[in-house]
Amino acid sequence: MNMTITLTEAAAFEVRDMMTKNGMPDGYLKISVKGGGCTGLSYGMSAEEAPGENDDILTFHGVNVLVDKTDASILKGTVVDFKQSLMGGGFAIDNPNAIASCGCGSSFRTRDVAGTPENC
């Protein structure tokens, strides 16, 4: 399988810390795409106990990441990072397939997939 996404070391550290604090040290981070948001598609991140039958499993810096095969083409080349600033920290997603995005940073669309935009 081609590498769909990349989880940076900083993001992996935060995910591992969150999973451990929530009693899931051996859990999986699932990165997904769903319809909605201002621009049509939204990113999702969730903690999962086990992979689903349609999930690809990737490992970055000791963190297991799940990507549903149906989302793989939309997420191909995406980098998930964790940025810290004076205002706090948060995950930053850089998707080279996104041709439009919303100011919130979690809504986007690609050339091939418009999604289902909502009013914000």
pLDDT digits (tens, 9 = 90+) for 103-115: 665 677 677 776 6
Confidence band of 118 (pLDDT split at 50, 70, 90): low
**Interval 35-94: pLDDT, tens:** 877 778 888 999 999 999 999 999 999 999 999 999 999 999 999 999 987 778 899 899
Within 8 A by CB and 6+ apart from 111, the residues are 97, 99
Instruction: Identify the bridge partners of residue 91 per DSSP, sorted by sequence position.
Output: 82
pTM of the full predicted structure?
0.84
CA 106 to chain CA centroid, nearest Å: 10
| 14: pLDDT strictly greater than 90 | yes
Q: How many CB atoms lie within 10 A of CB 48?
A: 14
pLDDT at position 105 is: 58
Q: How confident is the model at residue 28 (pLDDT cuts 50, 70, 90)?
A: very high
